[in-house]
């Protein structure tokens, strides 16, 4: 049976070019990068080359790249070490953040007594820049933590404006850029962020590898204690093969960015147009046709008899997408993002997310399947 993968915001398939870059090392190179003999020097050199490749693409210096196990660790490190080492007593964030940020901030509040300002999102999922600016009028050292693109609804933050605002108000700025790294080019000389997070598996790299960009002037202690790896910023023997794959995936993503962006944006547009013209009452969560990540489309289908089963039925039909029912109060289930946007719980929400490997025919088959599955059973009330 043909299977169509439309869940690329969750993770992406490994690019064969990335695999080809990793395999020779996996076969032949096993030295511990901290060893000073030939075997160690060889893998150390591979890691430092990877670091330079990534730094160059971000217009950063290699010393600003700390390899981590992925986006979650990068987010945790930025937030917790800002509190412990950089005197942060106040965090500004939004309820639409990924749990890697939300739960870390909650922990900072509980463990370290940090004050938190939660920003309001409008019904489109956008934040109010004036409210951000207001929240910075405080004597408490502040960290603003706001994602560049939302992984569920795709909304984009005007990252440069927020970074400038933070800088002007002497606040630190962390952005969870996990969904945008490798999809947008990010120039760290233009965007005055202090911390940026990246996970390789969101752009066809391996899972369990990523990095934290941390501005060079910020002196912090490691989040993971151990050896002096990563210049003392992260203990633990490096994930050599993951790092090589990460750098290769990042390089390919930047090399082909324009081409893939055009292709994937076209797919999203096609899906929007087809749903709009073929399913009465359909709408989109977030700002799908405005400031939105081109790889993500969160669709809200009108109430139907088999709405609850839609994701499951799509999977049976060979189409992998992801869910997003609204979070009912007091329950841990469902999407906290759609819950915060107060979406109508009777409607069915599905996140479709695309990659360079998605084809027009994949989009058409997915739309046809949705129409078949819910089209006959729309509840007319």
| Residue placing its CB nearer to ligand PLP in the complex, 176 or 362 | 176
Q: How far is the CB of 198 from ligand PLP (least distance, A)?
A: 8
Number of neighbouring beta carbons within 10 Å of residue 36: 9
CA atoms of 76 and 222, how far apart (whole Å) = 11
Q: How far is the CB of 176 from ligand PLP (least distance, A)?
A: 5
Q: Count Cβ atoms within 10 A of the Cβ of residue 379 and give its class: 0-12 exposed, 13-18 middle, 19 or more buried.
A: exposed
Contact set for ligand PLP, span 157-176 (CB under 6 A): 176
Q: Which of 311, 327, 338, 340 is catalytic?
A: 327
Task: Check if 198 is active-site.
Answer: no
Among 51, 81, 98, 263, binds ligand PLP (CB under 6 A): 98
71 touches ligand PLP by CB under 6 A? yes
Among 104, 142, 151, 239, binds ligand PLP (CB under 6 A): 151
93 touches ligand PLP by CB under 6 A? no
Contacts of 341 (CB under 8 A, 6+ apart): 96, 121, 123, 125, 153, 285, 286
Q: How far is the CB of 207 from ligand PLP (least distance, A)?
A: 7
234 touches ligand PLP by CB under 6 A? no
User: What are the strands, taking DSSP E only, across 171-258?
Assistant: 172-175, 195-199, 210-214
Instruction: Name residue, tokens 């395999």.
Output: 23
Size of the site for ligand PLP (CB under 6 A): 13
Q: How far is the CB of 179 from ligand PLP (least distance, A)?
A: 5
Q: Report yes or no: 246 and 199 within 8 Å, Cβ to Cβ.
A: no
Q: Report yes or no: 369 and 273 within 8 Å, Cβ to Cβ.
A: no
| Residue placing its CB nearer to ligand PLP in the complex, 264 or 369 | 264
147 touches ligand PLP by CB under 6 A? yes
Residue 157 phi/psi, 5-degree rounding, is: -90, 140
199 touches ligand PLP by CB under 6 A? yes
Q: How far is the CB of 26 from ligand PLP (least distance, A)?
A: 21
Among 43, 51, 58, 70, binds ligand PLP (CB under 6 A): 70
Q: Report yes or no: 247 and 204 within 8 Å, Cβ to Cβ.
A: no
Q: How far is the CB of 377 from ligand PLP (least distance, A)?
A: 32
User: What are the strands, taking DSSP E only, across the chain?
Assistant: 4-5, 65-68, 90-93, 115-118, 142-145, 172-175, 195-199, 210-214, 283-284, 296-301, 319-320, 348-353
Active centre residues (catalytic): 327
Residue ranges in contact with ligand PLP by CB under 6 A? 70-72, 75, 98, 100, 147, 151, 176, 178-179, 199, 210
């Amino acid at each position: 049976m043909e299977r169509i993968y439309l869940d690329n915001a969750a993770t992406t398939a490994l690019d064969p070019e990335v695999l080809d870059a990793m395999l020779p090392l996996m076969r032949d190179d096993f030295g511990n990068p901290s060893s000073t003999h030939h075997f160690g020097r060889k893998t150390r050199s591979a890691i430092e080359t990877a670091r330079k490749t990534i730094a160059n693409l971000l217009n950063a210096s290699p010393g600003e790249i700390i390899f981590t196990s992925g986006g979650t660790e990068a987010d945790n490190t930025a937030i917790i070490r800002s509190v412990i080492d950089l005197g942060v007593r106040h965090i500004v964030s939004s309820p639409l953040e990924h749990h890697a940020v939300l739960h870390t901030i909650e922990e900072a509040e509980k463990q370290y007594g940090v004050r938190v300002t939660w920003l309001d999102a409008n019904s489109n999922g956008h934040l109010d820049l004036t409210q951000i600016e207001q929240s910075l009028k405080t004597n408490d050292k502040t960290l603003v933590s706001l994602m560049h693109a939302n992984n569920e609804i795709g909304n984009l933050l005007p990252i440069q404006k927020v970074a400038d605002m933070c800088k002007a108000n002497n606040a630190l700025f962390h952005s969870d850029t996990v969904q945008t790294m490798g999809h947008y080019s990010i120039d760290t000389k233009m965007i005055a962020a202090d911390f940026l997070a990246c996970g390789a598996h969101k752009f066809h790299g391996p899972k369990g590898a990523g990095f934290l960009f941390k501005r060079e002037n910020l002196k912090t202690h490691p989040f993971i204690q151990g050896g002096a790896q990563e210049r003392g910023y992260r203990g633990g023997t490096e994930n050599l093969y993951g790092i090589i794959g990460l750098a290769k995936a990042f390089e390919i993503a930047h090399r082909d960015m324009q081409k893939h962006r055009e292709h994937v944006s076209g797919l999203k547009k096609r899906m929007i147009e087809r749903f709009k013209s073929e399913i009465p009452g359909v709408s989109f969560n977030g700002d799908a046709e405005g400031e939105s990540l081109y790889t993500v489309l969160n669709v809200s289908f009108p109430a139907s008899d088999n709405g609850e089963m839609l994701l499951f039925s799509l999977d049976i039909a060979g189409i992998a997408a992801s869910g997003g029912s609204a979070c009912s109060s007091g329950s841990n289930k469902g999407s906290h993002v759609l819950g915060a946007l107060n979406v109508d719980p009777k409607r069915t929400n599905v996140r479709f997310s695309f990659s360079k490997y998605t084809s027009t025919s994949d989009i058409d088959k997915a739309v046809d399947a949705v129409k078949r599955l819910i089209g006959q059973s729309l509840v007319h009330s």
